[in-house]
Chains A and B, each alone.
Chain A
């Protein structure tokens, strides 16, 4: 089953057909979502009503296009806001974690490493719920003692950011630690021999070396935050990020404006992904 071992042509063709079928399966829902963004009908379904750009640019009901749908536009803004904070916090902590696990030796390191990985095996809904509970417990405790209500710990954007940060940090840590592991320590020593302090050496030699991983991890955490649903659902207050707003629309039964948003999302994520791949190629 490798090119150097001959196989019957029947087997080869069946195998190829299977792989082709698999990619059709992968592409089908996305293609369908994209194509129906141009359907001139109030429902994202057959029959096909002809091509239109109304779901992007029309400014009035019932065919309100995405660029005039203030509710969805606002939710995109909220998602961007959340994603930027999550990315910044996750990258900062993940960098520190990567240095800790790759450069330091201390008692209990293995235990902490396992603990650091656990957010990957906690279902998102549970993570969200547990942070919701803990936030409320702390807020209630403080309120009972001092009479001051900490708004920050009640459902809302700060909690959403916290919840996403809690598991995205793990993913960023893994990406950064993997890159740091390949770093040749003698480069840093060379910098220090040339008179740099340890901090200077890290800033001018090690961090630039980590740059592709930092960009990669940044893109991953931005997209993961932007697309997160499960954890967000449990922590969201009155300001709904895009996924939550779309979910609500979807349940009511929506117009193809959702297809238009989805298409824009696909284009944006694909651009970001390609950008990060290009950066990695150039700098790796």
Chain B
């Protein structure tokens, strides 16, 4: 095959990729950035302005919601990791053969169902006339109906539940590749369970932990359904603000500024996570 045919082949494969990335990812985000940096001065007239960003810092509701969303997302990520790690370890290291693949599959099943259905399930469980409340009354732990929906704890349960898969799968994958002999060696060298966990298991699982945390944090930050459906009046989420600006108020300039801020926060967290753990983006993501 000659050189020009090779080049042609390369361009045939490269063009669709570039069209996709430029038209659907790069340009839309650049456009969003441009719109966030302008202000309407008259019908169809716009001027450069930082007002949309100033409004974010001046209006306590906006930046408080932003900070709240970030902190709750971090907390949800940590909780998901803590809950998922022992389970992943159990499946990857303590089970063999059929039981192992079965339990792994069982971890995945809930996530073949729409997020909406899962959130709906939690609503049925936690609402005043729901199952948990009914159970508490039946056991006599509560005298009357208990409302467990519409508060931050309920939101947290929903967020952790929704994100679980994205933590469990990378954890099981990396833990599975850890050779039992290394753990045994850790014990042979005089370590106890705790030493082995911290000095053998966790360092080996680091790529899985990082990729799990990044994906979970990002999904939680960008979640819309759970805070809207399960959260109370005060459980505002930043994505709700974005939705309100775009769809309800039709203030695209302000909405774009919010979008850029959220994107900035999520990119920063991804970057910080990779730096702290010294992992590379391509390795963690694929």
Which stretch, B47-55, B57-65, B202-210, B222-230, touches the partner chain A? B222-230
Determine if A75 is an interface residue (Cβ-Cβ < 8 Å): no
Whole-angstrom distance between the Cβ of A17 and the nearest chain B Cβ: 11
Out of A22, A123, A272, name the residue touching B266 (CB < 8 Å).
A123
| B27 and A117 within 8 A (CB) | no
Contact flag A115-B21 (CB < 8 Å), given A96-B16, A269-B112: yes
Known: A19-B90, A133-B252. A121 touches B218 (CB 8 A): yes
**Is A18 at the interface (CB under 8 A from chain B)?**
yes
Query: A2-B184, A46-B130 are contacts. A126–B259 as well, Cβ < 8 Å?
Result: yes
Instruction: Name the distance in Å between A147's Cβ and chain B's nearest Cβ.
Output: 15
Interface pair B180/A4, CB less than 8 Å apart: yes
Specify which of A25, A120, A133, A229 is in contact with B224 (CB 8 Å cutoff).
A229
* Cβ–Cβ contact A134 & B28, under 8 A: yes
**Is B124's CB under 8 angstroms from A251's CB?**
no
Which of the residues A26, A29, A36, A123 comes within 8 Å of B218, measured between beta carbons? A123
A36 CB contacts on chain B under 8 angstroms: 124
Q: How many A-B residue pairs have CB under 8 A?
A: 242
- Nearest CB of chain B from residue A19's CB, rounded to whole Å: 5
Contact residues of A: prevailing secondary structure: helix
Report the bound CA distance from A22 to B267 in whole Å.
31
Chain B positions within 8 Å of A4 at CB level: 180, 184
Q: Is the CB of B13 within 8 A of A126?
A: no
Q: A residues near B, CB below 8 A?
A: 1-5, 7, 15, 18-19, 22-23, 25-30, 32-33, 36, 43-47, 93, 96-97, 99-100, 104, 106, 110, 112-127, 129-134, 137, 162, 165-166, 169, 174, 177-178, 198, 223, 226-227, 229-230, 233-234, 243, 246-247, 250-251, 258-259, 262, 265-266, 269-270, 272-273, 277
Return the contact of B113 from the options A2, A250, A265 (Cβ within 8 A): A265
14 A/B residue pairs, CB under 8 Å, sorted by A: A28-B121, A29-B122, A29-B124, A30-B113, A93-B16, A96-B16, A120-B285, A126-B32, A129-B246, A174-B286, A227-B116, A229-B224, A234-B247, A250-B120
Q: Give the distance in Å from the alpha carbon of A112 to the alpha carbon of B256 in the complex.
A: 26
Set of chain B residues within 8 Å of A3, measured between Cβ atoms = 94, 96
CB neighbours of B229 from chain A (8 A): 250-251
B110: chain A residues within 8 A (beta carbon): 26-27, 29-30
Number of interface residues, chain B, beta carbon within 8 A: 91
Query: CA A270 – CA B111 in complex, angstroms?
Result: 10
Candidates A33, A46, A125; contact of B129 at CB < 8 Å: A46
Nearest 3 CB-CB pairs, A to B? A29-B121, A123-B222, A130-B28
Task: Identify 12 new A-B residue pairs, CB closer than 8 A, beyond the known A115-B26, A133-B32, A229-B114.
Answer: A2-B183, A30-B110, A93-B20, A106-B14, A123-B262, A129-B32, A129-B259, A134-B28, A137-B35, A227-B116, A234-B247, A250-B116
Q: Is the CB of A243 within 8 A of B116?
A: yes
A273 and B285: CB pair below 8 A?
A: no
B78 interface hit (Cβ, 8 Å): no
A99 to B123, CA, bound (A): 45
A43 to B123, CA, bound (A): 12
- Whether the Cβ atoms of A1 and B224 lie closer than 8 Å is no
The answer on a CB contact under 8 Å between B187 and A29 is no
Closest to B131 in A: A32
Q: Is the CB of B13 within 8 A of A100?
A: yes
Confirm or deny: B255 has a beta carbon within 8 angstroms of a beta carbon on chain A: yes
Q: Are B35 and A104 in contact (CB under 8 A)?
A: no
Determine if B31 and A130 form an interchain contact, defined as CB atoms under 8 angstroms apart: yes
| B189 surroundings in chain A (CB, below 8 A) | none
Q: Give the distance in Å from the alpha carbon of A140 to the alpha carbon of B242 in the complex.
A: 22
Neighbour of A119 across the interface among B16, B25, B94, B134, CB < 8 A: B25
Is there an interface contact between B221 and A270, defined as CB atoms closer than 8 Å? Answer: no
Q: Is the CB of A133 within 8 A of B115?
A: no
Whether a CB of chain A sits under 8 angstroms from the CB of B77 is no
Residues of chain B with a CB closer than 8 A to A198's CB: 1
Q: How far is the CB of A61 from chain B (nearest CB, A)?
A: 21
- Which residues of B, 85-144, contact A by the 8 Å Cβ criterion? 86-87, 89-90, 93-94, 96, 103, 105-110, 112-118, 120-125, 127, 129-131, 133-134
